Amino acid sequence: MVQNIKNYIKKAYNIDLISISPISNQYSSVYKVSTKSASYALLLYRPNKKPEDIRSELTVYKYLNSVREGDLSFPNPLEADLAIDELKLKGRFALLYDWVEHLPYGNDPYQKEQAFTSYCYLNNLMKGINYNDYSYTKTGALDGAFDSLSKNYTDLNFTKFSNDNIKSLLQDNLLSLKSTSSFVTDYYMQNKQQFKESEFQLIHNDLSPRNFGFRGDKKVSFIMDFDLCKVSTWQYDLSWMIWRFCFDEKKSPEKNLEAINKAKLFFRERNYDIDLPLFLFLLLGRLILTLEGRLQNYEKDPLAGLTFVPSKIREINFLREYLM
């Protein structure tokens, strides 16, 4: 793979690399690649990305970098010698970005506060993007996804799950999954018109800790991974961010609730208020729809199902037990 990367970078960017270090391999793959005088980030996108997705993302980066102020930055792609359709390595889109030295999120309270502050800034910038010019789809109760969501899981074919633990886990939580599915569907149907009249904007769609880089002083250095951008409401983005930054399975329910309520108060004081029913709907809707999708694709990717299904069921059960 090392030689493949070197050959690709030389062909696409006319850059001679001397070192390549893998950084992450979750969903997309990231490598730190270096020459004698500079370092870059090589991003191998998810296999299902289309050329229009890449073009839209690059346009968003260009806009964000043109209007940003202060130290917070966004990915800055290098100019390639090839057309976007040709920027592929092993069948996956592969783009080179400026490397920014950073520290990962370390579950530090000040880091969390800085990430929350950066959301308010980012959201104001995202509002200025005319999403009609791009290929983004709507999500978060805005694309009719809940119209077809089954109200129960009785049609789930348990025989297709090769792992006995998965079968047992689904059967033991069947009532919980049915109830959650019903809550999500009913809430959506009752508020469908309100959602259609919502103020839409482009959102990041995955403001989890792994997409934030921090400086040594614990302030946010950059926000990355905009390839999942969708059109929705700011509440959809913010509810997921609060959840991903505040829920920790290793902590007690009381500590998790305290962290969630503290985060909601932080944003309420900055005029980003989400009432509890909407907060629950957005999170449970996202979790139950994603879980349903993973279960439908279990036969194609049982390993992903084995690692993903248990954690999502635990998250759903926590929300149901302690917040509903």
2-98 classified as CATH 3.20.20.70: no
Do 109-322 and 2-98 have the same topology in CATH? no
The model's pTM is: 0.92
Please name which of 273, 249, 208, 106 lies closest in space to residue 261, comparing C-alpha atoms: 273
Taking the domains of the chain in order of start, what are their residue ranges? 2-98, 109-322
Angular region, 103: left φ>0, alpha ψ -120 to 50, beta rest: beta
Helices (H), 27-97: 51-67
CATH fold label, 109-322: Aminoglycoside 3'-phosphotransferase; Chain: A, domain 2 (3.90.1200)
Q: How many CB atoms lie within 10 A of CB 134?
A: 18
CA 148 – CA 65 distance, rounded (Å): 39
pLDDT by position in tens, the chain (length 324): 889 999 999 999 999 999 999 998 877 899 999 999 999 999 999 888 888 889 889 999 999 999 998 889 999 999 999 999 999 999 999 999 999 999 999 999 999 999 999 999 999 999 999 888 777 777 776 666 666 666 667 677 777 777 888 888 888 999 999 899 889 988 988 998 888 888 899 999 999 999 999 999 999 999 999 988 999 999 999 999 999 999 999 999 999 999 999 999 999 999 999 999 999 999 999 999 888 888 877 777 777 677 788 999 999 999 999 998
